[in-house]
Structure 1
């Protein structure tokens, strides 16, 4: 597990816990030193995560967000439409990644939460003379999208489907990202 994955796991554990989690407890679960946890918490705070330190441990404060991964496909001309659809329905596009049969998973953080963020992102692409990551996998790519509720994520997923952006997973892909969601709905 690399540092980014470990920090994402810390946020996940803090968001799912109703009680404070101590640095020692987090270190034991993640098999790192307590000092690594302290450094990770500092980095997470620098990324605007509201983490409170108490004598009992760490608590995640502020608005809790739920995330879901969507596999999407579209042309370069439809990037703006896809991103606007997500943010207009309350989603935050955390990242973009592709699964390449040779290179594996290639990921980039986006943190797009508004139409202004979209404008800046598209401007940076144009000014940097860069190509979109999706272009190495025939336009197929994934976004981790967060929102304050499952209801909003369901709405976003439905709108992506209606717009023809949602893509089916293939047998060779490493993870069925919707498997957890399906299992949770089956339990209800």
Structure 2
């Protein structure tokens, strides 16, 4: 298979997948190295493909339906699980985490967490690695972009975070 054919096949796999697909899984499927897949993804992005890298793999995000809002929170690492669960328990998806870095400006990490199982998987990867959450760069202050089915779900998520004492309000 030629490189261009492989990249087109990767794009099709990502478009059809309902879950993130890891570079390792793609490498196995096409009998190439993981680094070749990383390069293919970079070339697809440079050509305009809207491919996001999540902690679980690559995705082409569907158009977000419902309400998209951001909220600001501040907490330590020990509250990360309860924060994320409070949001997904209200029916919202945590699309990303955003921090303001003094040198690089806005840094965004895609999350795509919709339920407690995905939160547990994300936290498991956090604890298994030496990497620190982006919020550690900003004394725990960070934003989340949420996709919620309606205004009521967003209001419930805000109320849950406020009850925990971690919602930053203007």
Moved over 6 A (4+): none
Cα separation, 2, equivalents of 1:136 and 1:154:
28
Q: CA deviation at 1:77?
A: 0.6
Cα separation, 1, equivalents of 2:135 and 2:48:
33
Cα separation, 2, equivalents of 1:168 and 1:100:
20
Classify 1:134/1:39 alpha carbon distance in 2 versus 1 (closer, same or farther; 3 Å).
Answer: closer
User: When the two structures are superposed, what TM-score results if normalisation uses the length of structure 1?
Assistant: 0.57
Q: CA deviation at 1:93?
A: 0.2
1:47 pairs with 47, 60, 63, which one? 60
Q: Name the counterpart of 2:9.
A: none
Cα separation, 2, equivalents of 1:131 and 1:48:
25
Cα separation, 2, equivalents of 1:39 and 1:103:
23
Q: CA deviation at 1:126?
A: 1.2
CA RMSD of aligned residues (A): 2.3
Q: Name the counterpart of 2:70.
A: 69
Alignment of 1:41-120 (within 5 A): 47=60, 49=62, 64-120=65-121
Give the gaps of 5 or more residues in structure 2: 1-44, 53-58
Contact kept in structure 1, 2:69 and 2:146, CA below 8 Å: yes
Classify 1:119/1:73 alpha carbon distance in 2 versus 1 (closer, same or farther; 3 Å).
Answer: same
Cα separation, 2, equivalents of 1:165 and 1:94:
19
Classify 1:48/1:95 alpha carbon distance in 2 versus 1 (closer, same or farther; 3 Å).
Answer: closer
Cα separation, 1, equivalents of 2:104 and 2:138:
11
Cα separation, 1, equivalents of 2:94 and 2:112:
6
Contact kept in structure 1, 2:65 and 2:147, CA below 8 Å: no
Q: CA deviation at 1:165?
A: 1.3
Contact kept in structure 1, 2:90 and 2:153, CA below 8 Å: yes
Alignment of 1:19-58 (within 5 A): 40=49, 47=60, 49=62
Alignment of 1:141-156 (within 5 A): 141-156=142-157
Q: Name the counterpart of 1:127.
A: 128
Give the gaps of 5 or more residues in structure 1: 1-35, 50-59, 170-188
Cα separation, 1, equivalents of 2:141 and 2:120:
22
User: When the two structures are superposed, what TM-score results if normalisation uses the length of structure 2?
Assistant: 0.63
Q: CA deviation at 1:168?
A: 3.6
Classify 1:105/1:114 alpha carbon distance in 2 versus 1 (closer, same or farther; 3 Å).
Answer: same
